[in-house]
Amino acid sequence: MTGSRGGTTVRSAVVLGGGGFLGRHIGSVFRQAGARTLTVSRNAAASATVRAAALDLSTAPPERLAELLAAERADVVVNAVGRVWGASDAEMEDANARLVRRLAVCLTAMERPPRLIQLGSIHEYGPGTPGTALAEDGEARPDTAYGRTKLLGTHTVLDTVRDHPHVEGVVLRVANALGPGAPRGSLFGSIAHRLAEGARPQIPARPTVEPGPGTGGDEGLPEPATVVLTLPALRVCRDFVDVRDVADAVLAAATATEVSGRIVNIGSGRPVLVRQLVERLVALSGLPVRIDPAGESGGAGGGAALWQQLDISLAHKLLDWSPRRDPDESLCALLAAA
């Protein structure tokens, strides 16, 4: 792997939560870059191409984490652990905050700790102002348990780097990730799997024409039944980023200079109305779909769209990173994987 961290080539990376949505893609991009990579999760399964270690990170003490990182001679450790969908407040506290504190204790005790790349969340900011992009120096006002617990993790990393000069750490504050492998518990993951259940034999990796009658190339096959999706109004604007672009940003942060002790936004920089993105996903599926309302007041109060948009100029400056994939690429890959 090319690049350096404080003058030292990054040859070994450990990805905590490597079996999750983000972690799988992050582990893959490190392996593709030539780094010796270990993914760690509760139910990790090694293979001929993937080195993996099974460890319950919700209970692993700092000493066990330090032992693992030392054995790997890790130059970088990525914390891709997180709980949100279907998790209780206590479970989010354990995964999003307490684990980070134990990891910080582990790193401060090591003579030469690996650089920590902590995956934060856009939801640490809370609601944004329509027409305004959220910058790293803006006030964080999370309004959900997920956002609050992720913010605690961010504070832990920044405080540790400030108080322990030999520890390097950066927080990548990630927008709503989209793409292949999105969890069933997420909005787009659940819709993609619902569509996959009624899909035609093949969904293209990327459409060459707008889907419509007679363009599916599946003449002679029985027409699929109409898929019924019951959804709220979804009158919210969100910043979405492809999960593979997030992995590229993590790789860049592993070797970037002048990032320790910083928060760096990782997103598309563009707000998208969630309802429109759902409708595009349906269109790309090529399926007959009926969307039924479920609590049309859901998704935004008073009819006004809630807004989240990231300012990603710092990522371009510090990481030489910009998102490369457009929403159609993300949605088609999501459908194909589902």
Residue of 146, 240, 307, 321 marked catalytic: 146
DSSP category for residue 185:
T
Q: What are phi and psi of 76, to 5 degrees?
A: -140, 140
Amino acid in the structure at residue 43? N
For residue 146, indicate whether it is catalytic.
yes
Q: What is the three-class DSSP state of 89?
A: helix
- 15 within 8 A of 30, measured Cβ to Cβ: yes
Q: What does the alpha-carbon distance between residue 194 and residue 140 come to, in Å, rounded to a whole number?
A: 35
Q: What are phi and psi of 5, to 5 degrees?
A: -125, 105
Nearest to 327 by CA among 289, 274, 257, 290: 274
End-to-end CA separation in angstroms for the chain:
31
Write out the catalytic residue numbers. Answer: 146
